[in-house]
Amino acid sequence: MTATTEPMGHQAARAAMVASQLRTSGVNDARVVAAMAQIAREDFLPESQRPFAYRDRALPLGNGRAQNPPLATGLLLTEARIEAGEKILVIGAAGGYAAAIAAQIGAQVTMVEEDADLVALARTALGDTVTLVEGSLVAGAPANAPYDLMLIDGAVELIPDALADQVRDGGRVVAGVVDRGVTRIASGVRTGSGVGLASIVDSECALLPGFAKPRGFQF
């Protein structure tokens, strides 16, 4: 990641985020907390949104996209239970904030983003710490598969089989899911029959494009 001179206001806001948003709400992986306490979230946002980087809400990124609230990021990464050296696929990575945290924990991260402006932002913020794939979110990054973990950095209604198939058998999937209009953090394990996700906790998550259920779809 590129080095920046950080305003003291951002440092204080980040410390407050950790104390009041993360530690009090189930983000209990010490590695995730430490990384989020260190990494400058504002570096992964457009200039216009940087003053609001540590607010507890989704932030608009343009072109219909939004950045997850800090709590959603922390919960997703906590539920991911990342082990150093694991191969991780991050879908809908936006400016690369969650990917940067996973990389700092020690994962080998491939992130996929389709919005050209967000790709440019991520390239600047991440440098060469993460493999960045510019392309369709629903297509993933099959060239680097299989992955130990897929983290969908936002909320989806379904996970296409072609994307789930990029996770190794027994590998993990963590995502925000949309269920009857409510977004929740969910996780599951990839098996030969696909991925079954179990909801963990309600949490505001930014919606990702391209993952809507077909009309008439029923579980």
State yes or no: pLDDT of 219 exceeds 70. no
Q: What is the percent of the chain with per-residue pLDDT over 90, rounded to a whole number?
A: 88
Q: Where are the domains of the chain?
A: 10-202
Q: Greater confidence, 213 or 154?
A: 154
Q: How confident is the model at residue 180 (pLDDT cuts 50, 70, 90)?
A: confident
Query: What predicted TM-score, i.e. pTM, was given to this entire model?
Result: 0.92
Pick the CATH number of 10-202 from 3.30.56.10, 3.40.50.150, 3.10.20.90, 3.40.50.620: 3.40.50.150
Categorise residue 148: left if φ over 0, alpha if ψ from -120 to 50, beta otherwise: alpha
Q: What is the CA 38 to chain-centroid distance, rounded?
A: 17
182: how many CB neighbours lie within 10 A of its CB? 12
**pLDDT score at 139:** 98
Which neighbouring-strand residues pair with 182? Answer: 179
